[in-house]
Structure 1
Amino acid sequence: MGRSTRDRILDAVLETIVDQGAHGLSIRGVAAAAGLSAGAVQHLFPTREGLLQAAMDRVAEEFTARLLAAIDPTRDAVGNLRSAALLLGGVGAGARRATVVWLAFTAMACTDPGLARAHREAWARLEDGLAVLVARVDPGADPLLAAQLLAQLDGLAIARALEPERMTERRAGQVIDAFLDANLRTG
């Protein structure tokens, strides 16, 4: 079964951002990449802002689904926290694409109030989710630990996207493990 017109458009937005950056994004370019007319794109997304918001919402939904899939109720709390941390740290298949898109949306959110609101909400949900995972590992952990971990994972994801030769998957995993070992009582 073929992708819906909406999905084709959002796929084209994300591919444009990955290949050309947000500055290369235009309704006409997205239409061409999706194999549609500009009118077809504008029918579903009358404004560039609406198009970007829909794309950001889609990225957040996809990432949330990947994060929930990384949590296994049959695995121990440390294993689940580590799996989530690896995903947030940009380790694994598709991680670079997701990080590049997220960085582009983050940059746009600095000047777009709608994207800024969506970014803040997504980041708050991530931090809250990490706080739950941290508390399952170490109920006595510092309440700021989830924010510290999220900040470190954000930096690792950027390093993995921009410098994969320096920040290899193995090294990123070692950094994550060292942070968790140094900050959580796991025994």
Structure 2
Amino acid sequence: MTYISADERKKEILAAARRLCVRDGVAKLSMRGVAEETGIPLGTMQHVFRTRGDLLRALVDDVDAEIDAALRTGLVGAKGLAATLHAGLTTFWEEMVAGQVGLQLIQYELTLTTLRTQSLHGIAAWQYRRYAELLAQWCQEAAASAGETIAVGYDALARVILASVDGLILQYVVDPDAERAAGDLEMLIGTLTALAAPRPAE
């Protein structure tokens, strides 16, 4: 029998959960369904994710890691916040939005499903706090790397980025017009840069 590490097992379960979410929607995701999809006994799977809530939190974590990796591409070689905003948000859009409508539907469905399910209610707030924290840290690192300060707080800037990009993604999911989305993203990046008004620290 081939030994499978806990990390490999976790990746296998999360990949199966994503497939099921894309195919059937987050609301229909069940521990038993994921067990059947992977061929892993339900009891064994529950050693990795004890509850459906644990599995949904892990899905958020999994997507967070991808978002972080895409944004951090913008930190490589970029000089300052303006360049980082452009490189990071463009890379994020290309890798995680364009052609990935299914993944974005999972994101929205995760939020709505957890808001509508009493036992999962805290996950949505946690999900958005995580996104905002990730964005604030990313912006702060970008500005600090170039010795810049900005005109607004990093937490506030992060929330505006999150709200704005969320809106663009929803429009794209509803009507995936790549040319329009690219133009809107460029306009948004310019607006965010003007809002932040990065300048050399005194």
Normalization by structure 1: what TM-score?
Answer: 0.77
Q: Contact 2:70/2:88 (CA < 8 Å) preserved in 1?
A: no
Q: Which moved more, 1:149-158 or 1:76-85?
A: 76-85
Contact 1:81–1:134 under 8 Å retained in 2: no
Following the alignment from structure 1 to structure 2, what is the Cα–Cα distance between the partners of residues 180 and 51? 34
| Cα offsets for 1:119-149 (capped at 9, x unmatched) | 1331321441465357969845444554333
1:9-48 alignment, distance < 5 Å? 9-48=13-52
Other-structure match for 1:176:
185
- Which of 158, 163, 176 aligns to 2:170? It is 158
Give deviations 1:91-132, integer Å, cap 9, x for gaps.
213422432222122113324234134213313214414653
Aligned ranges for residues 94-173 of structure 1 at < 5 Å?
94-95=96-97, 96=100, 97-110=102-115, 111=117, 112-129=120-137, 131-132=139-140, 133=142, 139-143=149-153, 144-165=156-177, 168=178, 170-173=179-182
Contact 2:143/2:198 (<8 A) preserved: no
1:137 and 1:186 in contact (8 A); partners too? no
Q: CA–CA distance in 1 between the matches of 2:186 and 2:147?
A: 14
Equivalence for 2:75 = 72
- How large is the RMSD of aligned CA atoms in angstroms? 3.0
Q: Distance in 2 between matches of 1:146 and 1:47?
A: 31
User: How many pairs align?
Assistant: 181
Deviations 1:17-69 (A, max 9, x none): 1111112211221112112222222232222112222222222223222222x
Counterpart code for 1:175: D
Q: Can you give the 5+ residue segments of structure 1 that lack an aligned partner in the other structure?
A: none
Instruction: State, as a whole percentage, how many aligned pairs show the same letter.
Output: 25
Q: C-alpha separation between the residues in 2 aligned to 1:45 and 1:58?
A: 14
In the aligned structure 1, how far is the partner of 2:191 from the partner of 2:128? 28
Q: Secondary structure at the match of 1:49?
A: helix
Does residue 62 of the first structure (1) align with residue 71 of the second (2)? no
1:103 is paired with a residue of what secondary structure?
A: helix
Tell me the equivalent position of 1:85.
89
> Cα gap change, 1:87/1:28 in structure 2, threshold over 3 Å: closer, same or farther?
same
For 2:157 and 2:57, how far apart are their aligned partners in 1?
Answer: 30
